[in-house]
Amino acid sequence: MKIIPAIDIIEGKCVRLTQGDYSQKKIYHQNPVEVAKMFEGYGLKHLHLVDLDGAKANQVVNYKVLEEICTQTTLQVEFSGGIKSYQDLKKVLESGASQVSIGSVAVKHPELFLEWLSMFGNEKIILSADVKNGYVAIQGWQEQSQVSIFDFLAYYQEKGVKYVICTDISKDGMLQGASIGLYQSLMEQFSQLNFIASGGISSEKDLETLRQIGCTGAIIGKALYEGKINLKILQSYA
């Protein structure tokens, strides 16, 4: 199972939100590049980089941070936030991202998402499935769609999607444990998809359980910044 630390960016700073609420913002570091270097120093190989400014602005904002992390570290960066056009997607990949995760476009413009999937392949394009009360949330979690998570995944599994980042928004930033039951039910139903768990992961026990049930990866955010999970422990997963 891949261990994927998260860096969320607002105004060039490393922050965490609680349940996606921009008003519940906590700044952890002024320089995301230094944080990325720290993760690399602990032997981690992957990074989940979220452009929260971009998610709100409907266009990618923090290209520069992405480019700096990709040129100054060897981390494989998965980028999300604000990718709404081919130009944005191309720019993100040219800036060094190994993968991009896309949610809003997959809900609102499925034909465009499928065009990108065909163009760049299912190793590059990850489906972002952020869940709130059983439905997919979009626009940086500011809007809840009428699309059921099960219908959403069934459609895209048929279309050849390989990787899914699934976040239970109710758990995100709460440090109360991951949605193990949700992931188990999704993996039982969608056996062709590789699930990357996100939201609520707060202990080594969470990580072990996610690994045991078969998650491909686990994204860890606030638990790292609050010292709930020791970075040294993560070296055994790297």
Catalytic residue annotation: 8, 130
* Contact predicate 56/25, CB 8 Å: no
Q: In sequence order, what DSSP letters do the residues of 96-114 get, joined into one string?
A: T-SEEEE-HHHHH-HHHHH
Q: Three-state SS for 91?
A: helix
What is d(CA 84, CA 76) in angstroms, rounded to the nearest whole number? 22
* Contact predicate 201/218, CB 8 Å: yes
Three-class SS of 58-69: CCCCCHHHHHHH
